[in-house]
Structure 1
Amino acid sequence: MRTLLSRLAAILVAACLLLTGQALAAPERAAAADPGYLMVHFTGEGAANQQMYLSHSTDGLHWNDLNGGGMVLRSTVGTKGVRDPALVRSPDGSKYWIIATDLCISCGQDWNAAINNGSRNLVVWESTDLVTWSDPWLLNVAGAIPDGRNAWAPEAIWNPATNDYVLYWATNVPLDGKTKHRIFYARTSNFRTITTPQLYIDRPGTQEIIDTQIIEVPSGVGNYRYVRASGDGQITLEGSNSVLGTWTKLGDLSGIGLTGSMVEGPMWMKFNGQNKWGLYLDQYATNRGYMPVTTTDPSNPASYQQLASTSYNMGGTKKRHGWILNMTAAEESRVLARWPNTAAQRLQSFNFQDRYVRHTDFDVRIDPDVSPVEDSRFRLRTGLAGTGTVSFESVNMPGYFLRHTNYDFQLVRNDGSSQFAADASFRQVAGLADSTWSSFQSYNYPDRYIRHYAYYLKLDPITTATGRSDATFRVTN
């Protein structure tokens, strides 16, 4: 018995030590990684590339394209192209805005027209969750500027001194018949109305300034609360203790071999959990997109360092002038769930195999030789109505889904309602005419299937061999 009790005691002590060790070690092992970073940007010239794209990073240096590298928002207003976006989060996190240049180069306007007679508007989207965005609207910011010719590269920062946002952008106000971009600002609380624009930054003589972005720096780092980086022939750094106060020139990045003739579009970020910042610069002169430089003090030009090209990766798409947001865990979860890298696919008709489902003027039909082919590409998302269903999101009209109304189909923007979710969700089943293909059963009318009739998509009950053929499709790349 004594031997047995001794063994039991030894086992109990060992178990306690094991549990104690696990309890002590658990916090370190269970500590979650910091949430990552979200970049909003455009990717180049042309109608498709001058839209809104998103990329994600876990460390701020290695980026993955979201949404399969496809656009996430498309402008349907103004020039129908957007560049130079800024992503603004309200102080309480209840609202977000994307503000962007209303500009589409090589799709209806050239640089000369954009500089001298461009849009005076910005394009704005609004969201309450970072994933469901409003329709875009135009905000006229340069119309009240005498002889203002355009509105480019908008940015915004919350100003606690005035309890609203300082919205700032570049406008060409010619000087002696030559181009002269200056930075103007206005105050706003909602990005729908603004105060009268005022001159914010002007450089001497004929020197232009187009791109500038401000970052707030925590107490104890450097001598200034705010630092701004501007593209004005150099990447000039300035400091101030007030957004609308006096700014002091601190220097530039020529000391590390970077000038404004090489890079533009400065884009700030703060590394999570570190006294370290990144400043991304768009290598427009060599057409290579963004590269990062790092610093431990944004206000000290001597502290900036270039990184070896092997120490960062910008992902599959070119990143052009944008904005980086440090996400919360909840924001990151929503963003990654909304824009997974789902492949773009097409729906081929079973009985007219040269024809594919496509949208045209928001109507939906099957056509041969679809042009542009992107009109026939969709992402088969997890159904808006829930698991076990699929929904068809347009590739070139993101946020728009195939939806039935009165048994007819259209491409419609998701309004977030339960009725929309039900109308835009389908069960993918074995093809009614060939089990190796697919048919799509309506979620809210399970006796009806997607089919084509006179080449247009309908939602019908299927009772004949012709109907079964019309309701059968191949999901293909």
Structure 2
Amino acid sequence: MSVLLNRLAAIFVAVGLLFTAQTLTAPQRAAAADPGYLMVHFTGEGSTNQQMYLSHSTDGLHWNDLNGGGMVLRSPIGTKGVRDPAFVRSPDGSKYWIIATDLCIDCGQTWSQSINDGSRSLVVWESTDLVTWSQPWLLNVAGAIPDGRNAWAPEAIWDPAGNDYVLYWATNVPLNGATKHRIFYARTSDFRTITTPQSYIERPGTQEIIDTQIIEMPAGVGNYRYVRASGDGQITLEGSNSILGTWTRLGDLSGIGLPGSQVEGPMWMKFNGTNKWALYLDQYATSGGYMPVLTTDPSNPAAYQKQASTSYNMGGTKKRHGWIMNLTAAEEARVLARWPNTPAKRLQSYNFQDRYVRHTNFDVRIDQNVSTSPDSQFRIRTGLAGSGTVSFESVNFPGYFLRHSNYDFQLAYNDGTSQFAADATFRQVAGLADSTWSSFQSYNFPDRYIRHYAYELRLDPITTATARGDATFRVTN
């Protein structure tokens, strides 16, 4: 009997461990009514991929690209490229920021240049609703660091002790006989001005540290209020009870086969409604993009578990070093409405069928040989001024719309005003020259239509057969 009891006990223990492992490996998908997760990231090298992209997940493991996999924000300032973005949400949820590295590799700058004489500034966007973003600005964070040579991989966390944000980033600087990346910090309340930068994290000798991200732990989990994961030759875990206090090294992830030579860019995510976390790691050595490791205790290196590739899906675009936000239901509704997977379209001229509407230097015209150019691609959105209408958002300058001004057309950034919305809104009607094509009637000047004249786009009354041809377009791929 004792043998039988021992065998039964062993079976129960094994079953319990199996259920525990399954629970950790594959957290249950969020209920349909639960809000999901939003990831901001970049996708690779080049001027197009080094911009801001968004992806959404309902369960934290299976991701869908938003905006048809296209960029959602583009930086026209600094190096005109952005990497390593982070979301910041104010404690009361009234403001949001995206902070990012001002860096564009292979589009004007080499790695050597960016390391030794790169941008000392971060790129910052601000929003009050998570969907309408300001024009970006440059925040100089490393200029006050003696011989600071760049500013990479910014992060920020609200610090109740100071009633402001601790902003931290990596700067390459010669100090104490070693030129390497160290983590610096400053305080800010608005991401427009900062306190004098101070040294925050430095590793011994020549060891660099570039990527680090901090999470606040719920009461009762682990022994520390804060845990941070850093890329410093390993994925190192540390704990502290104060953001700017003493940090204790807890270990690293080399024990589960994830040394720093293989992964970087640690990115935390807490699963909704449960004390489970994913630590996403960028498989830079194999160009594999992000993969999750799961844990129920971020402060315990032995509690992390690698996941089978079949247990997660990162979506259609490669996800590179970014940040994940747990959404509220209201935030999720706004985000999904703003960036549905609307396909890119082109407007082909009816009477010059080798020409398409395109923007060039923010002017708008019809041109030849642009059928494959992103300058001639637009996402036809629900009209900014109301339902039953359309607006044309640029694919390669997201947030910019076709807008008339003094009856001339330009590609302009949506400033959120009702005047802009009206000027950028049109009614799609049967083509004036061919009912199988389309014409576009102005929302706020209904006696006028989009038409080309001398190949330039205008908003005109249509009274002749020639004008009807000029005002007729085919919506095509």
Q: Report the Cα distance in structure 2 between the residues aligned to 1:98 and 1:167, rounded to whole angstroms.
A: 12
Q: Which amino acid aligns with 2:386?
A: G
Q: Report the Cα distance in structure 2 between the residues aligned to 1:390 and 1:32, rounded to whole angstroms.
A: 30
Normalised by the length of structure 1, the TM-score is: 0.93
Q: Which amino acid aligns with 2:433?
A: A
The answer as to 2:99 corresponding to 1:99 is yes
**Against the structure 1 CA distance between its residues 246 and 46, is the aligned structure 2 distance closer, same or farther, given a 3 Å change threshold?**
same
Residues 85-133 of structure 1, C-alpha deviation per residue, up to 9 Å, x if partnerless? 0000000000000000000001000100000000000000000000000
Residues 355-379 of structure 1, C-alpha deviation per residue, up to 9 Å, x if partnerless? 1101111110001112970010000
Residue aligning to 2:255 = 255
The answer as to 2:431 corresponding to 1:431 is yes
5 Å-filtered alignment, 1:41-120, equals 41-120=41-120
5 Å-filtered alignment, 1:205-244, equals 205-244=205-244
Residue aligning to 1:149 = 149
Residues 310-361 of structure 1, C-alpha deviation per residue, up to 9 Å, x if partnerless? 0000000000000000000000000000000000000011111111101111
Q: Report the Cα distance in structure 2 between the residues aligned to 1:229 and 1:106, rounded to whole angstroms.
A: 29
**Against the structure 1 CA distance between its residues 177 and 81, is the aligned structure 2 distance closer, same or farther, given a 3 Å change threshold?**
farther
CA contact (8 A) 1:295 1:303 kept: yes
CA contact (8 A) 2:178 2:205 kept: no
5 Å-filtered alignment, 1:175-324, equals 179-324=179-324
Normalised by the length of structure 2, the TM-score is: 0.93
Shift of 1:34: 1.7
Residue aligning to 1:124 = 124
Match of 1:180, SS?
strand
CA contact (8 A) 1:275 1:296 kept: yes
Bigger Rg over Cα: 1
Residue aligning to 2:26 = none
Shift of 1:33: 2.7
- Percent of counterpart pairs with the same letter? 87
Shift of 1:417: 1.1
CA contact (8 A) 1:250 1:299 kept: yes
Match of 2:185, SS?
strand
Q: Report the Cα distance in structure 2 between the residues aligned to 1:227 and 1:475, rounded to whole angstroms.
A: 52
Shift of 1:176: 7.9
The answer as to 2:450 corresponding to 1:450 is yes
The answer as to 2:419 corresponding to 1:419 is yes
5 Å-filtered alignment, 1:29-40, equals 33-40=33-40
Match of 1:421, SS?
helix
Match of 1:74, SS?
coil
CA contact (8 A) 2:356 2:371 kept: no
Shift of 1:179: 4.3
The answer as to 2:366 corresponding to 1:376 is no
Q: Report the Cα distance in structure 2 between the residues aligned to 1:36 and 1:66, rounded to whole angstroms.
A: 13
What 5-or-longer segments of structure 1 have no aligned partner?
A: 1-30
**Against the structure 1 CA distance between its residues 142 and 387, is the aligned structure 2 distance closer, same or farther, given a 3 Å change threshold?**
same
Q: Which amino acid aligns with 2:156?
A: A
The answer as to 2:440 corresponding to 1:406 is no
Q: Which stretches of structure 1, 4 residues or longer, exceed 2 Å deviation after superposition?
A: 174-179
**Against the structure 1 CA distance between its residues 34 and 97, is the aligned structure 2 distance closer, same or farther, given a 3 Å change threshold?**
same
Q: Report the Cα distance in structure 2 between the residues aligned to 1:242 and 1:35, rounded to whole angstroms.
A: 30
Match of 2:393, SS?
strand
What 5-or-longer segments of structure 2 have no aligned partner?
A: 1-30
Q: Report the Cα distance in structure 1 between the residues aligned to 2:239 and 2:68, rounded to whole angstroms.
A: 39
Q: Report the Cα distance in structure 2 between the residues aligned to 1:348 and 1:200, rounded to whole angstroms.
A: 56
Q: Report the Cα distance in structure 2 between the residues aligned to 1:268 and 1:258, rounded to whole angstroms.
A: 16
Q: Report the Cα distance in structure 1 between the residues aligned to 2:88 and 2:443, rounded to whole angstroms.
A: 37
Residues 195-231 of structure 1, C-alpha deviation per residue, up to 9 Å, x if partnerless? 0000000000000000000000001000000000000
Q: Report the Cα distance in structure 1 between the residues aligned to 2:371 and 2:202, rounded to whole angstroms.
A: 46
Shift of 1:285: 0.5
Shift of 1:461: 0.6
Match of 1:148, SS?
coil
